Amino acid sequence: MNVKQIVLISFSLFLATACQDEEMEIPNPEDVRLKSVQTIGHGWTLSTVYDYLPDGNLTTVQWERNTPFTTIGTEEYVYGADKRLEKQIISISGVVVTEMRYSYFQGKIVAASAYVEGIKDHYTFFEYNQAGQLIRTEHFKRDDEANGYFQDGEQVFSYHADGNLHKIELAVFSSEVGGLIWNNTKTYASYRSEPSVVDSESILPGLKLQKNLPTGYELETAGDKFKYSFAYRFYPNGLPADRVTTYPDGQTEQSVYTYQ
């Protein structure tokens, strides 16, 4: 019996007990804070733990990936006097340290600049519509030879009528054409009624693109389309207990969620 089978069996026993125990206290969706996510894939695992300040703001994220080689990362969130996120310090295996600095306009993050050893390595601009939804990101990367920056990527976002994310269109830099070309489109066609705790797309800290749980997505590339489906189990109050993702080739991964 492998590690994945052991974890699946242990979690199934835990979930069965939780659902039968009427005395078990589980947080309401509006009060929930994600505590941890454990993901088990085909030959790899990823464990993520979240810590918060008393006011509810995220303060640190610690993660460990085994492939089977182990990579450890930490993210520290630093806030200003107005409790707005000022910067994010990202460390990977204690070697690569990136400081992400955020700029605001009318209360929203409009730019994020990544510094490595005091030098701006790359930056991203964020554009919103009148409803406050993110509709575009433009990513720029440092070009040491030209002593400047060039745009190496762009994402365009669209939404369903209920506000849930519908599509992300990605364009990347092509040296052949000297500019951006379409790379892929990811489509979230449908959603469940249960509330989402963690977005499938992590773009900016605190930014939610999916208020409900997606049923899966389709990834379209040049000449191909790949479908990924999501299946969930739930705690009694409707919060997701776990999600199983089925890949186009039939392989699966499982993500287990805990809360505080």
- The domain containing residue 260 runs over which residues? 1-22+231-260
Pairing of β 45-52 and β 58-66: antiparallel
Specify whether 167 is located in the same domain as 218: yes
CB 62 within 8 A of CB 74: yes
Specify whether 179 is located in the same domain as 201: yes
Residue 242 phi/psi, 5-degree rounding, is -155, 165
pLDDT per residue, tens digit, the chain (260 aa), is: 454 554 444 455 445 444 444 444 545 556 788 999 999 999 999 999 999 999 899 999 999 999 989 999 999 999 999 999 999 999 998 778 999 999 999 999 999 999 999 999 999 999 999 999 999 999 999 998 888 999 999 999 999 999 999 999 999 999 999 999 999 999 999 999 988 888 899 999 989 999 999 999 999 999 999 999 999 999 887 889 999 999 999 999 999 999 98
Specify whether 218 is located in the same domain as 123: yes
Q: What does the alpha-carbon distance between residue 79 and residue 163 come to, in Å, rounded to a whole number? A: 28
**pLDDT for the residue 15:** 54
Over the Cα atoms of the chain, what is R_g? 20
Position 127 in a domain: yes
Identify which of 127, 228, 207, 206 has the alpha carbon closest to the alpha carbon of residue 165: 207
Give the CATH number, domain containing residue 164: 2.40.128.720
CB 72 within 8 A of CB 61: no
Identify which of 186, 197, 151 has the alpha carbon closest to the alpha carbon of residue 35: 197
Specify whether 133 is located in the same domain as 218: yes
Position 186 in a domain: yes
Tokens of 179: 């500019």
Position 6 in a domain: yes
Please give the span between the terminal C-alpha atoms of the chain, in angstroms, as a whole number: 31
Kindly report, residue by residue over 104-156, the tens digit of the pLDDT. Answer: 999 999 999 999 999 999 999 999 999 999 999 999 999 988 889 999 999 99
**pLDDT for the residue 185:** 98
Number of domains the chain is built from: 2
Position 92 in a domain: no
**pLDDT for the residue 135:** 98
Specify whether 124 is located in the same domain as 215: yes
Specify whether 216 is located in the same domain as 239: no
Specify whether 151 is located in the same domain as 203: yes
**pLDDT for the residue 13:** 44
